[in-house]
Structure 1
């Protein structure tokens, strides 16, 4: 924690971003142990949470009962109500979202947003061969590896969560929001108070089998002009995928050895 604090404080005030794409225990400890850090950084971008209630038009998935005879809507990915990163340490998440100095600098990317960013078959092909397909006749090792990682959980998302169009991409979004904040639509500056349910039993029967709401992310729109957490409701997916394509181009260029694999 001290090393992270010192590294961030070594940057000019109001310039450093912190990106959290996993459970928030370390973030909670960091900003509790070093309260000055909240005013020093420019932003904290978090991938996590699930809101539901048609917060966005994203497909949030379904869950089968134990016998597999019925399926019902859900919006969490670990429990029926909670996303994994928040569920694992809801107290840490709550400490961040209720920190008055920090919450105004938080951008939250919930499943409601990342489930709009689906790697459809068309996107997969474009990223595998490059968006400028006319000039690319071979598939690089970099792009082949990325494609394998991208599609690894595709069947799971289809079977468990009902996302049949393609797997969503989550963790890249809070990073893209630093590089291109304007491709994310927050309805002209909409901001939220965020509360995390910390009371309730943690499930013991595996994924999404508990009725407890522990870890649920509850949001409330605040008065226009007030300071709160930024939670975009949409994004320009075309630009976002193009940015990833450009990153893959750079990775190819900087790869010391670019073994070429011909597509089957």
Structure 2
């Protein structure tokens, strides 16, 4: 892959979360990324748990150089809800190999200011991957509107075209803070640089038994590393809850990691905007394809969190529609290899 930048400056805003862990894996382990910072938000668990989980994940990945900034502990308007039926009480249940946090979080409520500072530090180049409810991103848009033109890309995991998961109408991240999502999706500065990665695409990123075996078994070591066993056990737990709650039989979808990987084509030297009907050459190896829509969020009532789409090829949000998932999983396994190379602990 030929990139304009030696490293893509990347900020991850997340609520770990098992699939957030794989998103953080890509941000930490792929050579294409320079992980600038991580912010946390309510969502899969309480803010205290998502913050602790983010630091534990970075500890496991030996990324002690990346600061973690706590953000919003609740939605802008509605009450807090968490996804403990999917991610467990901690937000990251399922393994004894997740290390204790080895460094402290930054002070409370510093996430939005830290994201703003990152945009100033990397003008025109920073990508933000928003993997949880959009409360922090909405606050960024409201408090720092003058900086938004300097953001290169906002990649959001959320929503669905006629598809929900938390309700039959709505996906969890958007449902959690529909008011924040509406602020983000209606911001005229953010709209042209926003990529929405919906359930329609992420439901194709299934961590099958074959994939999990490749995650667990090292290509370099005869014995299992603690890192690989941790990731394997997290995915096995995630597979179990997804099967029980949603009926996924072949494995869990790693939603958030897709939104992190989808950033790569926008920094390749042949990246061009293409609809699903375009015959232009693919943008990078992921062959990401999207179409543009205006997006409206239902903010209250029984359909709260549902997205309403209207085609707008000139001024709409990019909605990701296709991706080469063989290449996606190659990137995940490459990231595991790269992170493993910095760790040496083996399962006894």
TM bracket (short chain): 0.7 to 0.9
Alignment of 1:1-264 (within 5 A): 1-11=112-122, 13-52=123-162, 75-130=163-218, 132=219, 136-181=221-266, 182=283, 183-186=286-289, 190-200=291-301, 212-223=302-313, 226-255=314-343, 258-261=344-347
CA distance in 1, matches of 2:222, 2:326: 23
CA distance in 1, matches of 2:311, 2:222: 49
CA distance in 2, matches of 1:7, 1:26: 14
Counterparts in 2 of 1:184 and 1:83: CA distance versus 1, 3 Å: farther
CA distance in 2, matches of 1:10, 1:118: 36
Unaligned runs of 5+ in 2: 1-111, 267-282
2:280 maps to: none
CA distance in 2, matches of 1:154, 1:82: 21
Unaligned runs of 5+ in 1: 53-74, 201-211
1:131-185 Cα shifts (integer Å, max 9, x gaps): x5xx653221111111111221212211221211111101111211223453153
Displacement of 1:7 after TM fit? 2.7
Instruction: Give TM-score scaled by structure 2 length.
Output: 0.60
Contact 1:193–1:221 (CA<8 Å) still a contact in 2?
Answer: yes
CA distance in 2, matches of 1:118, 1:229: 25
Contact 1:194–1:220 (CA<8 Å) still a contact in 2?
Answer: yes
CA distance in 1, matches of 2:338, 2:288: 27
CA distance in 1, matches of 2:263, 2:174: 21
CA distance in 1, matches of 2:184, 2:169: 20
Q: Which moved more, 1:113-122 or 1:2-11?
A: 2-11
Counterparts in 2 of 1:4 and 1:185: CA distance versus 1, 3 Å: closer
Structure with more contact order per residue of length (Cα contacts < 8 Å, sep ≥ 6): 1
What number of residue pairs does the alignment pair up? 219
CA distance in 1, matches of 2:340, 2:288: 31
Displacement of 1:228 after TM fit? 1.7
Contact 2:118–2:126 (CA<8 Å) still a contact in 1?
Answer: no
Displacement of 1:221 after TM fit? 2.0
Instruction: Give TM-score scaled by structure 1 length.
Output: 0.78
CA RMSD of the aligned region, Å? Answer: 1.7
CA distance in 1, matches of 2:137, 2:320: 21
CA distance in 2, matches of 1:155, 1:222: 39
CA distance in 2, matches of 1:19, 1:7: 13
Contact 1:116–1:234 (CA<8 Å) still a contact in 2?
Answer: no
Contact 2:262–2:288 (CA<8 Å) still a contact in 1?
Answer: no
CA distance in 1, matches of 2:152, 2:211: 32
